[in-house]
């Protein structure tokens, strides 16, 4: 049996299931409510996490442009492991190499970026120079099952926190790759029809009608935030 990490999805939502907390304004209480996410992340106790390219550039790399290093040779499309023994890892799905990196460290975690084969040699050369690990997970599109298998095989990752956005969460859900779902229900409503929800799957790609969950625990934590923890049973 091929090994992969246990995937725990953790998301912070409004009562109407919306994410993208930056749309909720900068009121002091809203800021306090949003702090519950990092607190629960620490309580769960797993440090390695994975997000999509949009979340990474919005919240962490702040739209930095890709950096390219002049190279006069072809770089083979092989996985590059710069640090297998880091205490924790920040993993990002960036199949088309749109993120800009100037460090291999993200909030104390070693960066692993997931790419597809058409990326430029000059981009790979820069990643190698600054010590960012990268893995290939497909020729033209990312295969999430391959991603997870490589994260365990190459980096020894046994548990991985999936933390959005909605498209990436939906892709994991669609492939049956989420083992546990944790939702922090904040006492606020969004109400926007266009705001992203926790799981988003394009109908043409959908592989099931619904995913069944089993409630494991309910907690009310600080500031009337409700923490729901579910086991994922399967798809129907």
As a whole number of angstroms, the distance between CA 227 and CA 218 comes to 6
β pairing state of 180-185 and 226-235: antiparallel
Do 216 and 138 share a structural domain?
no
Do 78 and 92 share a structural domain?
yes
Do 99 and 184 share a structural domain?
no
- Tell me the pLDDT tens digit for each residue of 115-155: 999 999 999 999 999 999 999 999 999 999 999 999 999 99
Do 109 and 21 share a structural domain?
no
Burial (CB count within 10 angstroms: exposed 0-12, middle 13-18, buried 19+), residue 125 = middle
pLDDT value of residue 30: 93
Do 93 and 133 share a structural domain?
yes
- Tell me the pLDDT tens digit for each residue of 39-74: 999 999 888 999 999 999 999 999 999 999 999 999
Do 85 and 138 share a structural domain?
yes
Do 167 and 115 share a structural domain?
no
219 strand-pairing partners = 227
What are the C-alpha distances in Å from 90 to residues 168, 196, 225?
15, 23, 26
Structural domain span for residue 66: 51-156
Do 164 and 233 share a structural domain?
yes
Q: Please state, rounded to an integer, the average pLDDT across all residues of the chain.
A: 95
pTM of the model: 0.94
Q: Strand, coil or helix: what is 112?
A: strand
- Tell me the pLDDT tens digit for each residue of 145-190: 999 999 999 999 999 999 989 999 999 999 999 999 999 999 999 9
Tokens, residue 152: 């365990």
Do 55 and 42 share a structural domain?
no
- Is the four-CA dihedral 173, 34, 105, 48 of positive or negative sign? negative
Do 144 and 66 share a structural domain?
yes
Do 148 and 61 share a structural domain?
yes
pLDDT value of residue 153: 97
CB 188 within 8 A of CB 24: yes
- CATH code of 31's domain: 3.40.430.10
């Amino acid at each position: 049996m091929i090994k992969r990490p246990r995937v725990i999805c953790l998301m912070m939502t409004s009562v109407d299931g919306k994410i993208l907390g930056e749309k909720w304004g900068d009121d002091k209480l809203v800021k306090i409510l949003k702090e519950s996410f990092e607190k629960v992340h620490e309580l769960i106790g797993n440090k390695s996490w994975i997000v999509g390219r949009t979340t990474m550039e919005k919240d962490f790399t702040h739209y930095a442009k890709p950096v390219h290093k002049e190279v006069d040779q072809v770089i083979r499309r092989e996985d590059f492991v710069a640090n297998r023994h880091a205490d924790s890892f920040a993993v990002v799905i960036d199949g088309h190499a749109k993120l800009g990196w100037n460090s291999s460290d993200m909030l104390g975690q070693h960066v692993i970026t997931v790419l597809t084969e058409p990326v430029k040699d000059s981009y790979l050369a820069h990643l190698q120079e600054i010590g960012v690990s990268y893995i290939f997970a497909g020729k033209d599109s990312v295969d999430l099952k391959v991603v997870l298998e490589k994260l365990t095989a190459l980096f020894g990752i046994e548990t991985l926190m999936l933390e959005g956005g909605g498209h990436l969460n939906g892709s994991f859900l669609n492939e049956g790759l989420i083992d546990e779902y944790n939702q922090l229900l904040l006492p606020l409503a969004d109400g926007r029809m266009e705001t992203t929800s926790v799981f988003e799957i394009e109908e043409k790609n959908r592989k099931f009608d619904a995913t069944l969950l089993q409630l494991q625990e309910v907690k009310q934590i600080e500031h009337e935030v409700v923490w729901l923890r579910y086991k994922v049973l399967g798809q129907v």
